[in-house]
Amino acid sequence: MHVTEQCLPANEVLARVGDKWTVLIVMLLGDGPQRFSELRRRIGTISQRMLTLTLRNLERDGLATRTVTPSIPPRVDYELTPLGHSLRGPLTALGGWAVENHPAMVAARSRYDAAQRDAA
């Protein structure tokens, strides 16, 4: 099996999960079901629009469920599906790599940029 064939779905998942808010929200939902406003408050800087869009996409991809309680005021809870929970494993693995090697990447960038400046 060629590498490229493995990479098509892998890249699609990465592109999907690599957007600005998905990882954060999946991890927050890992703590258990939560309301829209609770997620909004915990993230702090996200716009209503992006929170809605990201949650919609998670629902669409079968990673989360959306439960509406028709009360006044209305209440909507989001929860990871088993599929969504299963994503947390590989995600935390990559997260572990990130926290461990992020300093090295930042350092490499500084060196590279410094070298570029010297050349200029």
Contacting positions for a second copy (CB under 8 A): 3-4, 6-7, 9-15, 17-20, 23-24, 27-28, 30-31, 42-43, 59-63, 83, 86-87, 89-91, 93-99, 101-102, 104-105, 107-109, 111-113
Residue 109 binds DNA, judged by CB under 7 A: no
Residue placing its CB nearer to a second copy in the complex, 38 or 113: 113
Of 65-94, binders to DNA (CB under 7 A) are 66, 68, 73-76
Q: How many helices (H) and strands (E) does the chain have?
A: 5, 3
Residue 80 phi/psi, 5-degree rounding, is -70, 140
In angstroms, give the least distance from the CB of 46 to DNA: 6
Of 47-66, binders to DNA (CB under 7 A) are 47-50, 52-53, 55-56, 66
Task: Say what the alpha-carbon torsion angle 100, 41, 55, 87 is, to the nearest 10 degrees.
Answer: 30
Task: Say what the alpha-carbon torsion angle 16, 21, 92, 61 is, to the nearest 10 degrees.
Answer: -40
Per the CB < 8 A criterion, the answer to whether 35 and 69 are in contact is no
Binding partner at 88 among DNA, a second copy, none, C-beta below 5 to 8 Å by kind: none
Residue 11 amino acid letter: N
